[in-house]
Structure 1
Amino acid sequence: VGTSHTFRLVISLLSLIVCSSLFGNVLVLLVFQRKPQLLHVANRFVLNLLMADLLQTVLVMPFVIATTVPNVWPLDRRLCQALVVLMHLFAFAGVNTIIVVSVDRYLAIIHPLSYPTRMTPHRGTNLIVLTWLLSVLQSTPPVYGWGTIDFDQYHHFCTVVWSSSYSYSTAVSIFSFWVPVCIMLGCYWMVFRAARRQNALGASSGYTSRVRQRRFHYHCKAAKVVFVIMSSYIFSMGPYSVLSTISINRNSHVPQWMTSLAIILFFFQCCIHPYIYGYMHRSVRKEFLALLCGSFCQQIQPRTSGIDSCFTVTDGRAMHSHLPGAAVRVCSLRTWEEGTTSSSPTERRSKDSRKETTSMSFRAVSAMVLIFLAYPLTATKLAERQSCCWFLKERDILICQSKLHF
């Protein structure tokens, strides 16, 4: 199976993973930069996970792709050792962060009253620093002689010689896969039991406060996101961990295609995390749409237009400016960050404010109808109108730019 055709396939898949990882991770980082209020404690952990994936993509994967072509390591042997250390460093940082997020969701759901005092922003920052310090300790033993790193000419990549140290190989397999999986499964089993109890309580009693119920459902939804990330970790790291355990035996012979598949799945987790998080997290998904819509609007912005008519919807309020002959409606997104109010009850918006926002959104839509009534379009002019996307919900309005020719 070790043909040049197989190597070309591996290079193509790894290159696709690099491009997808760069796009997804950078886009989520831009979302956090654009909306810093999303960076509450739980999302800081996710941001740390995405940073580890991005560093893995930028600093490690290009060299892995480069070594797939020749049969020898083209650079210095110390760089080969540094490459493997960095690869394990970012992988350990990722799994340690997933463990922290799993425990964080467990505390938020099982101990909701004491969670704000237990998981403060300062403590969250300390946990992030601790994950990196622990990752350094887990990834650098070969530098000090515990384990050996070399270029595997059969499989065409730098790797740990797993048969060189039985104790080190066993420790890596246990602490990089089996222990984290047991901790994650334990946390989510208790979260699952708590969710069932809460649902039973809510169905049998009418005194449960809606605020507490809403907070509980938010934490459960966040736990689902991390559960999917945990499942992707098992899917990605499982084959690599199993093959490293099998390779401890010097007489074992692992087919080349299995090793290539394990390496591809190992790096696949770097590109899947931002898409899982961006798709399942409502606030981040809205900011994704805002970024993409904003980019689209800039591309179709007329270069030689006179005066623009702007209709902006922000914070549920409609603001209408001058209306000339050539009108451009500017995209705007009302983002309701549920995640920013997960910790403290005082930070949550009251029911009255939500009703007020809904009323404002209704007035915004009414104002849009008035604009169309004031400036009717003929069938010919309707054909000249460029595409416009609408996203109207109870508390959310997304109006993509459309150009109207009057």
Structure 2
Amino acid sequence: MTDAQRFRDLYEECHPRVLAYATSLVGRQVGEDITSETFTVAWRRMRDIPAQPLPWLLGVARNLTRELRRRDGRQYALAVAEAQRVITSGVQANAATGTATPAPTAATATPWKLRLPMGETVSTEFWDVASTGAKDAWAVGRRTDGDEGAAPVVKHWNGSRWADVAPASSFVADIADFGARSAWLTSFDWDPAGNAYEARLERWTGSGWQKVSLPAAPGGGQVQPWDITGTGPDDVWVTAEAVTGEVSVPLLYHWDGGGWTVREVPTPADHPTGWVANHAVATGRDSVYVLGKTNDPQAPEATMAVRWSGGRWQSLPALPVDETNAAGADGAGRLWISGWAPGDRHAVLSRWTGTAWATEKLPAGVTEHSEMSTVSGIAGVPGTKGVFAAGTAGCASDPVMCGIVVSRDLR
């Protein structure tokens, strides 16, 4: 059989599954581009494809998605979309018992109330949400068609209705909420002159979004914000990278309510293209964890984890995953991360004990019907030691694309 014949058979057999997986990560429009690129790679590397090609193809699609996230700064952790999937399909599992039950349908999920922004007349996708209470919530995403084409969407919930609040930039990525006059988001615009995206930070003033200029990097370079965390309006942390050519230097900025301070994040070793700090988790005032990786176009060569404790940096041991896909704190303020362990297609969850990483697998109810799994969001439950994690995995009806929510230390 010629390579052309093998490729045709491969395409016919695997294209629907690869498209479904890519769509679950980044939405239909971008998912089609990722799928096309995946099969372009497959054609160039036909002799490298194993006898069971689907896991290999999904791995290529996963790496291409990583590169997309790194390149344009958007974090497609589709928190709202995951919640929708859990209501309509998938598996709901408890990490403590390992049991799993079908996720409740919209008709029977009485504890859930529909709070998604309504009134949209064109296709819209949301990929991040933040809230400080029942009368203060934000959702960000984009409209993907209509007369105006793709356009950013930022909506605010005041307890009774959703309101459109236009951002200052053409694209929005992540949002964090610390109170009525202290929401922050990362955004970016296309710079035609530089033929690149210009990333920036924006702050909600109570009446509109205001572009925020971060102080210059200590060693120079173009500053591009990544992640936002904090404990309140006067304790906001932003990770960023200072880019000079192809080299990135990770930075940690702190807003104390009146001004900024900036520090370079220590890295484990030198790397030709530098490092990026793409996750930050504040577990208290003057306590923030920074997680990152080498600035590689595909899977990173190495990872990093450090903690700033207000007066010094503490280096953590090597991560038990090949890249941090999600990070958060549980209700007790303990750091959790998730990613894929080397050689494993299923996500694991790891907790920092203060001296070592304690790694746990997803419940068997999640993995037994699944070819692979991903955790894309972690959040604690205040007043408890509990934690939720959300993502995608397979289920009995589909080995790749079902939504999951797992919990730990909750009844």
Relative to its length, the structure with more helix (as a share) is: 1
Q: TM-score range by the shorter chain?
A: under 0.3
- TM-score norm. by structure 2 comes to 0.23
- TM-score norm. by structure 1 comes to 0.23
Structure with bigger RCO (C-alpha 8 Å, 6+ apart): 1
Relative to its length, the structure with more strand (as a share) is: 2
